[in-house]
Amino acid sequence: MRQSFGYDTGCSTAVNSHGKNKADHYRDLAHKVPIEHPSGQWTGDKKVYGEVIKNRITTINKKYNTYRNMLSQTGQGLIDGGRDHEIEDGTELANIWDKIRLEFPFYKTLNSLMGRSPTVDCEASKNSGSDMDLLVLGNRGMGRQTRLRALSQSTDVSSAYGDNVPPPSEADTDQLDQEDDEDLELPDSEEDIPIEAANKSKPANHDRTTNQQTSVPPLQIPQRPSLQINECIQFEREHTRLAMRELELVEESKWKAEELMEETKRREAERKHEMAMLEKRLEYELCMKQLLAGTTPQTSRPWDSFSLTQSSTDPFSGIPNLDEYK
């Protein structure tokens, strides 16, 4: 069952390619855990509970991987060795471990099951039982003699164990040299070049003045026509916008001047009208005072030409009767 779920089976357990698959194990766990529970609370189909068990195991494995990534290599090493009590209080590692114990209290149980699983620990996938020297695989760019020496040592080791490994031929070493030349990277500066190689690459009579005179000026990359066209379009748009804004300001100033003139004319007309009305009112009050005083009113009215008779008893007797003119 551990092998099916990807858990650590231990060093002494042989790998078995036969047996039940994961679905069978999920149904077996569903039958043993919820269905055969003493409380009898869960009764139903094993397939349904098998899916529940599957989801639960997947969730637990994901949580274990998440919390394992939160721990550093030092913290994981202490937990693997059962020395989690050596974690100092107040440190960041202690805070992380307290959080894991609070949110995932069965971390140690999962660690014993998945700690050396290839899905979690990459070191578990390495074959430590091989005696072959693999250092030659990492020696890129070494010289022909060094490579031949390393290959000879590997051949001697293989011959000691009875393997019929032929010695490397000249064609094989030439092919390796060609592959190394293709994989080599150029140095970033002259400081990375060895002293002897740097001296060989420089001429004997090196004149700096000649180098300065014959140095080629840096090439100026011409600007693409599309960028120039875009700049012209942007310039024309900005020019048009400024011209339109100028026209708007001129029209706005004209409109304000006309509005001010209209307002001035209107106020002048209102003032003249008020003065005329005031004059008429004063004239009317003067006439009324003259009539009340019994004197002939001195007005410029059309009815001033009519003969007005005065009466001592009726102050309005001097007003002509307009009914006879109808």
At 105-123, the pLDDT tens digits run 888 887 787 766 655 555 4
- Written as six digits, the tokens of 178 are 């060609």
What's the domain count of the chain?
2
- Residue closest to 50 by CA, chosen among 32, 31, 28, 27: 27
Q: Give the confidence band of 75 by pLDDT, cuts at 50, 70, 90.
A: confident
Name residues whose C-beta falls within 8 Å of residue 79's C-beta, 6 or more positions apart in sequence: 71, 97, 107, 108, 111
Structural domain includes residue 214: no
Going by pLDDT thresholds of 50, 70 and 90, the confidence category of residue 164 is very low
d(CA 84, CA 100): 12
Output DSSP code: residue 31. I
Q: Kindly tell me if the per-residue pLDDT of 69 is higher than 90.
A: no
52 lies in a domain? Answer: yes
Say how far apart CA 71 and CA 92 lie, in whole Å: 10
The answer to the question of residue 14 being in a domain is yes
Per-residue model confidence (pLDDT) at position 247: 92
Is the C-alpha dihedral spanning 34, 40, 46, 47 positive or negative? negative
> Is 276 part of any domain?
yes
Query: For 29-58, what is the mean pLDDT?
Result: 78
Is pLDDT of 70 > 70? yes
Judge contact between 96 and 70, C-beta under 8 A: yes
Provide the domain limits for residue 107.
2-124
What is the mean predicted confidence (pLDDT) over 291-297? 81
Report how far residue 12's alpha carbon sits from residue 15's, in angstroms, rounded to the nearest whole number: 10
Residue whose entry in the numeric block shows the structure tokens 């001129």: 250
Residue of 85 and 191 predicted with greater confidence: 85
Average pLDDT, the chain: 69
47 — pLDDT class (breaks 50, 70, 90):
confident
The two tokens of residue 234 are 């942007």
Is the pLDDT at 190 greater than 80, yes or no? Answer: no
CA distances from 223 to 38, 101, 227 (A): 84, 64, 7
What is the distance between the alpha carbons of residues 45 and 33, in angstroms, rounded to a whole number?
Answer: 13
CB atoms within 10 A of CB 213: 8
Read off the pLDDT of residues 220-233 as tens digits, 9 standing for 90 and up: 665 566 778 888 99
Q: Which of 101-110, 130-139, 202-211, 218-227 has the highest mean pLDDT?
A: 101-110
Q: How far apart are CA 21 and CA 145, in angstroms?
A: 54
Mean pLDDT of 280-292: 90
Beta-carbon neighbour count of residue 153 at 10 Å? Answer: 13
Would you state the structure tokens that stand for residue 148, as one six-digit string?
A: 């031949």
